[in-house]
Amino acid sequence: MLNSRGRILLSSLLAGCSDSGPLTLTAGRLPIPIHPLGNPMAEMRFRPVPVLVALWLLVPSIVSAQGPTVGTSREGSFLEALRQRGYFEYAQLYLDELEKSSVVPAEIKAVISYERAITFLEAGRQAASPSEKTPLYDRALGFLDQFVKANPKHALAADANSQRGRILLGKARVEIWQSQSPSNSGNRATFQQAARGQVIAARKIFQAAHDQFQKAWKAFPTFLDRVQQSKLFEKRKRAEALYMRAQYDLALCTYEEAQTHDRGSDPYVKLATQAAVEFEAIHTRYRSQVLGLYARMWQGKCFEEQDDINKAMGIYKELLGHPGGSATMRVIQDQVLLFQLICLNHEEKKDYLLVINESSEWISKRTSRQRRGPGALGILWEQVRAQESLAGVRTTAEKDRTQLLTAALTSCRFIQRWPSKYKDVALFKMRELQVKLKGAAIDPQDFDTAFGLAHDLFKKIKRHNEGLEAARRAKKPVAEIKTLSTARDEHLAATLEMLRTALLLVKRDTPKEDLDRARFYMAYVYYQQRRNYEAAVLGDFISRHAGPKAETMALDSAAIAMASHVRSYIDSPTEELRRQSLRLIESTATRILEKWPESARAQDTRLQLAQVYEGKRPLEAARNYSKVAENSEVYAEAQTRAGQQFLRAWLDASSVPLASRRPQKDLDAWLASAETHLRNGITRTEKSTPETVQAPELLIAAKVSLAQILNNSAKYEQTVSLLVKAPHSVVSAIGVADETKRPDSGVQRREFASLAAQLLLRAQIGLRKLDEAQTAMELLEKIAGAAEGEAVTELYRQLGDELKQELDRLRAAGEQQRVTEVLAAFEEFLARLRQRTDQTFNTLIWIAETYSGLGQGATEGAQATTFFGHAADSYRQIIDRADALVSDAVKRKKMIPGVKLRLANCRRHQGSFEEAHKLIVLLATSQPLALDVQFEAATLYQAWGNSGRAEQFDKAIIGVESERVLGWSQIALYLQRLVDSGSKDADRYRARRWEARYNQLQCRIQHAEMATDAKEKTDQLKRARSEVQGMMLVTSVVDPRWKPRYDAAYRQILEGLGEPVISLAEYREKYKPQVAAVVPAATSAAVPAATGGAAVAGSTGVTAETGTSMMGLIFAVILLVGGGVGVVFMIKGSSSKKRPRRRYALDSAPAPRAARAKRSSSEGRSKPSAEARRKQPRPRPES
């Protein structure tokens, strides 16, 4: 049969003439279209019937036993039998077997994709709900395309094309069905339009087929001798059948097109009349064949829908009285009965009693399973209508009326329990009937009603979300967005209320699946309302308790719990609560990964986990990102982010003091992984981004990250190529038309653009291409120099700091030769720059900062002093020529203190403590609350102490009141107060507090080292020990970045005291602090936008935005696919909150600025000031 489908199709059609034998309705063989109204649908089911198992076992042996010539029909018959029984899954499994089998002939294998399509098509026809039908039709369409493409000349190719048309028609019916549902009344037109589009597409295919088949049929002679020309006769018969079918398909298209218009409208009437004419023509021509009978039935339907009830009834009577008793005829007659009941319920007939009697009789003859079929539900629905109408008849007694309405209500409950096109209407009818029974609108009185209504409301959430999202995307007026948002919130509240009502009405016999689903919906609604705790509780509970039949729901619920924990993590007002959320995230993620390791959700979980770890545990973030499978939609992004996080882990680890640093081979491995993943991510993204399309921001960020790695490995040529070369050049991407108007976020953000330019400059200097370096310098100057006020100083200072860190890393990695090379290259370039006579403020500050960076990176004391001397010269020049360099007095006033602070820093490094002291005292007395000044002042006293003046250590710790110098101890307390005040910058202050405390410890240790008196030495170490232990007892969490340093210091203290060495972790374990409940002053999430000057963890800003949308997309897809759930993913918001990676280096104090306890709300909303922008995270390419 498989390779002779066309013949069998014909024989079936022809055998059906005059109902002469049993016919089966099989899509592939006899693709008689069955309208949903009369479709004898069965549920798509998976029934492990013993007979089937026996057949299953039998078939492979049959296949293997038979030669290719005889085996075909048996395989086909078996497949057909499976489809007829509705065992579509088994049919697909059987096709899998055939595909794998080595004994199956090639001609059979060739049509497997066709058979798969037919199986999906048939399953789609029998599926009861639109949501089930559509994917099945889509898959059928896919396999048909595959078949036609692979076998364009195959005998079945034409049929495959026709099938495609039928699928489109099937999809159109789904849309029509949706348009007729009361729950879709709001967007009926959209559904109708979509349906019309499908019908027109189907018609195009059918028309082509029609012309082709007509031509083929007409090519045969009119007269043929059936006996003498039997072969030709058969061929003509087949051609005629195809032609006949093509006419029928076209007529159906006309009918369906009519359905895409409102009943009674002009286009509807015109199309329905035309359809009636077309069906009549078919019936006239083929009245003795099955197809002719179908055409007749649809002709009747066209009359009925145009309210020509008598004509319709006449046709139905004729068909119901047809003498045939075959299965096909019974199917037709069942369908006709339904149509007839519709007529009897019509205003013209009002024969309600007959409807009730006929339908009751019909239903009583069906099994319980048959009663759940859409056809049976249709008949029951007509009964409901009749009962309701009869109850409304004036002469009906009150008692009968109540009984009729009660019976109708019971039937409605039954109808709405099973999937069919009557589900929604029955649900709405239930409310109407209840009102009629109780006399007023009442709340649902049973779980089914309440849950049905809640389900309906639930479905509409998506539409609200989409509407709101579309308005936001289109940047509609705020008022409009607010209205939409309010409507959505109200809808969510109404849905939640109805779900609550349903759950209150749960009874002992309520199906567990329904109860679970109601709770699942509730979890989703809570999530939409941003009630993360509630969503997490329900999600987690369902994921653990949902029955085995609801595995998908369990997984979706776990995903909701996960997403809720993540959101709660972001919203956490304190570090401790964030830590608690992280524990919940980890436990939920572990459960998802263990229980559903192969699911798509597992991948999303890894992504979420990675996002949470980003910036805090970069290595874990990187590992999770790198596990995202290659077939994932976000693979390229995940690879890029994995690379960035490996880079970040490497940067973090590289800055840890040598004693507590991870082995170099680990660091090298991370850097190598960073490079591999970044390259992979870049390649993938490039591949999917046409050259003419603007580069995604993540791609640009990835390139900048990679450039940093390449510079670090002295692969300067590659860096230049990466940054400059098209397509998607970084230099082009960061360019703007007006330098004074750079955006605050994205790759065009000034900080990010400066970094990219600096990397280019760095590479050109490394290549000793001084002219190109000069050009890069000009680019940098153009970008950074256009910053406002002191932000310029800060930008250049950060660039200098980068250089220092690079030198530190190279030295730590033992690459002394490279250090020398870098120093030489920079010296050469700086010397050239210094010779310029046209120095601007920007060039001078860059020279100064770069020398400062070199000075900090230099190992040799004399060389360092020279570098700092050059830096100080440049700073001095700026101060001396300030009026000339900066004409704007206000701007100048803001800039100069920062330059003076930098000069003090240089003098300190040069050992000119007195001069530095003078500068610092002036700054401290004028700006006592400027944190950077206080840090520099304490650092100065500490360095002074280290120079042999031990008495200065105390000043470093406790400060000098007369000079308004606080000292490390007071600085730490001041920062603590700022943290406790609930400042938005709490994270930044917290990090600086760790730094201040650490420096205080170092003062003690250094003092002890310097002390000649044993008592003094012990005294200092004991104080240090007591301070660090006290700190551990009142701190619940130690910042992981500072942990190794504190451990090293503690070890040093204990060793100095001759006490047993234990780690701080061990000490904490021994005297574990009890965590007290922290009641935050404000509920708003801390969003530390500023990270300080030397922070290295910032994101591009844009990347954050890109991430948000991308991850939002992923998550929306996950949940929408899984359970109609859309979840907004917002983790990237946290990436902008990354804690500043404040370097331990004493020299990292940024330009002075006053610490602010809290930003006023209006300030928060206003356009970021220059200062605020200066506080933006230092852009790091790895983010």
Partner 1 sequence: MRNRIALALSIVLTLLVCLTATRSARAIDQVIRKSSTTPTRGKITAISKNGLTVKPQVGDDVMVPANDIVDVRWDGEPAKLITARGADRAARFTRALASYADVASDPKSNPANIKLDLQFLVARATAGQALAGTGKLVDAKAKLEAYLQVGANSFRYFECVKLLGRVELAAGNHEQAKVQFTALASAPWLDYKMAGQSAQARVLLAQNKADEALAAFQAVITQGGSNAEAAVKGQRFEAVLGKSNCLIRKQGQASYEAALKDLAGVLAEVSDTNTRVLAEAYLRQGDCLRLLGRQKEAVLAYLHVDLLFAAEASMHAESLFHLGTLWSAVGHPERASSARERLRSDYPQSSWAKKLGS
Residue-wise burial string across 43-70, b where 16 or more C-beta atoms lie within 10 A, e elsewhere: bbeeeeeeeeeebbeebeeebeebeeee
**Cα torsion for 753, 756, 760, 762, to the nearest 10°?**
110
If the CB atoms of residues 224 and 1038 are measured against partner 1, the closer one turns out to be 1038
Residue 376: CB minimum distance to partner 1, A = 13
Cis peptide before 727 (omega within 30 of 0): yes
Give the one residue of 41, 407, 412, 734 binding partner 1; rule: CB under 8 A. Answer: 407
Contacts within 8 Å (CB) and 24+ apart, 440-446: 443/501, 444/498, 444/501, 444/502, 444/505, 445/505, 446/413, 446/505
Alpha carbon distance 99, 427 (integer Å): 45
Give the one residue of 424, 571, 575, 637 binding partner 1; rule: CB under 8 A. Answer: 571
DSSP 1009-1076: HH--SHHHHHHHHHHHHHHHHHHHHH-S---TTTHHHHHHHHHHHHHHHTPPP--HHHHHHHTPPPPP
257: number of Cβ within 10 Å: 26
Question: Taking CB under 8 A as the rule, which mask of x and - marks residues 454-493 in contact with partner 1?
Answer: ----------------------------------------
**Cα torsion for 592, 596, 599, 603, to the nearest 10°?**
30
- Window contacting partner 1 (CB under 8 A); options: 122-130, 401-409, 772-780, 911-919: 401-409
- Window contacting partner 1 (CB under 8 A); options: 391-399, 764-772, 789-797, 854-862: 391-399
- Window contacting partner 1 (CB under 8 A); options: 359-367, 427-435, 1093-1101, 1120-1128: 359-367
Question: Of 113, 108, 116, which is closest to residue 147 (Cα–Cα)?
Answer: 113
200 is a site residue for partner 1 (CB under 8 A): no
Give the one residue of 70, 353, 672, 831 binding partner 1; rule: CB under 8 A. Answer: 353
If the CB atoms of residues 548 and 1060 are measured against partner 1, the closer one turns out to be 548
494 is a site residue for partner 1 (CB under 8 A): no
357 is a site residue for partner 1 (CB under 8 A): yes
Residue 383: CB minimum distance to partner 1, A = 9
- Window contacting partner 1 (CB under 8 A); options: 289-297, 349-357, 779-787, 988-996: 349-357
**Residues 1064-1083 close enough to bind partner 1 by CB under 8 A:** 1072, 1074-1080, 1083
Residue with the two structure tokens 């090298």: 668
403 is a site residue for partner 1 (CB under 8 A): yes
103 is a site residue for partner 1 (CB under 8 A): no
Give the one residue of 168, 338, 584, 636 binding partner 1; rule: CB under 8 A. Answer: 584
Give the one residue of 72, 289, 572, 745 binding partner 1; rule: CB under 8 A. Answer: 572
231 is a site residue for partner 1 (CB under 8 A): no
If the CB atoms of residues 505 and 978 are measured against partner 1, the closer one turns out to be 505
384 Cβ contact partners less than 8 Å away, ≥ 6 residues apart: 408, 411, 412, 415, 426, 429
If the CB atoms of residues 183 and 403 are measured against partner 1, the closer one turns out to be 403
Residue 1075: CB minimum distance to partner 1, A = 3
**1103's tokens:** 């990347």
Helix axes 635-654, 600-613, angle to 10 degrees: 30
Question: Taking CB under 8 A as the rule, which mask of x and - marks residues 766-805 in contact with partner 1?
Answer: ----------------------------------------
79 Cβ contact partners less than 8 Å away, ≥ 6 residues apart: 1, 2, 91, 94, 95, 115, 119
Residue 407: CB minimum distance to partner 1, A = 5
153 is a site residue for partner 1 (CB under 8 A): no
367 is a site residue for partner 1 (CB under 8 A): no
**Residues 514-533 close enough to bind partner 1 by CB under 8 A:** 519, 522, 533
Give the one residue of 14, 577, 1062, 1128 binding partner 1; rule: CB under 8 A. Answer: 577
538 is a site residue for partner 1 (CB under 8 A): yes
Residue 1073: CB minimum distance to partner 1, A = 9
Q: Is the dihedral angle over the CA atoms 509, 512, 515, 518 positive or is it negative?
A: negative
Distance of CA 534 to the CA centre of its chain: 22
Q: ∠ CA(79), CA(80), CA(82), 5° rounding?
A: 65
**700's tokens:** 């640009």
Residue 423: CB minimum distance to partner 1, A = 20
404 is a site residue for partner 1 (CB under 8 A): yes
Q: Tell me how far CA of residue 616 lies from CA of 652, 1140, 1148, in angstroms.
A: 10, 10, 21
- Window contacting partner 1 (CB under 8 A); options: 10-18, 28-36, 297-305, 399-407: 399-407
- Determine the straight-line distance between the first and last CA of the chain, rounded to whole angstroms: 61
**3-state DSSP: the chain helix, strand, coil percent, rounded to 5?**
75, 0, 25
If the CB atoms of residues 7 and 366 are measured against partner 1, the closer one turns out to be 366
364 is a site residue for partner 1 (CB under 8 A): yes
Question: Taking CB under 8 A as the rule, which mask of x and - marks residues 498-517 in contact with partner 1?
Answer: ------x-xxxx--------
**429's tokens:** 């009818």
Q: Which burial class, exposed, middle or buried, applies to 252 when counting CB atoms under 10 A from its CB (0-12, 13-18, 19+)?
A: buried
Q: Strand locations in 28-105, DSSP E?
A: none
If the CB atoms of residues 175 and 516 are measured against partner 1, the closer one turns out to be 516
If the CB atoms of residues 531 and 900 are measured against partner 1, the closer one turns out to be 531
If the CB atoms of residues 448 and 794 are measured against partner 1, the closer one turns out to be 448
Question: For the chain, what is the total number of helices (H) and then of strands (E)?
Answer: 52, 0
Give the one residue of 356, 558, 642, 698 binding partner 1; rule: CB under 8 A. Answer: 356
410 is a site residue for partner 1 (CB under 8 A): yes
**Residues 1083-1142 close enough to bind partner 1 by CB under 8 A:** 1083
CA atoms within a 13 Å half-sphere pointing along the CA-CB vector of 943 = 22
Residue-wise burial string across 79-101, b where 16 or more C-beta atoms lie within 10 A, e elsewhere: bbebbebbbbebbbebbeebeee
Give the one residue of 34, 63, 168, 390 binding partner 1; rule: CB under 8 A. Answer: 390
Amino acid symbol at 421: K
801 Cβ contact partners less than 8 Å away, ≥ 6 residues apart: 849, 853, 1093, 1094, 1143, 1147, 1148
If the CB atoms of residues 277 and 353 are measured against partner 1, the closer one turns out to be 353
If the CB atoms of residues 572 and 939 are measured against partner 1, the closer one turns out to be 572
Give the one residue of 56, 220, 233, 541 binding partner 1; rule: CB under 8 A. Answer: 541
Alpha helices in 598-746 (DSSP H): 600-613, 618-626, 635-654, 664-688, 697-712, 716-724, 730-734
If the CB atoms of residues 214 and 574 are measured against partner 1, the closer one turns out to be 574
- Applying CB under 8 A, the site for partner 1 has a residue count of 49
915 is a site residue for partner 1 (CB under 8 A): no
Residue 1116: CB minimum distance to partner 1, A = 25
Q: ∠ CA(896), CA(899), CA(904), 5° rounding?
A: 125
Contact of 192 with 175, CB cutoff 8 Å: yes
Q: Cα-atom radius of gyration of the chain, to the nearest Å?
A: 39
980 is a site residue for partner 1 (CB under 8 A): no
Residue 577: CB minimum distance to partner 1, A = 6
Residue 395: CB minimum distance to partner 1, A = 6
**279's tokens:** 């069906």
Alpha carbon distance 174, 138 (integer Å): 12
Contact residues for partner 1, defined by CB under 8 A:
353, 356-357, 360, 363-364, 390, 395-397, 400, 403-404, 407, 410, 504, 506-509, 519, 522, 533-534, 536-538, 540-541, 545, 568, 571-574, 577, 580-581, 583-584, 1072, 1074-1080, 1083
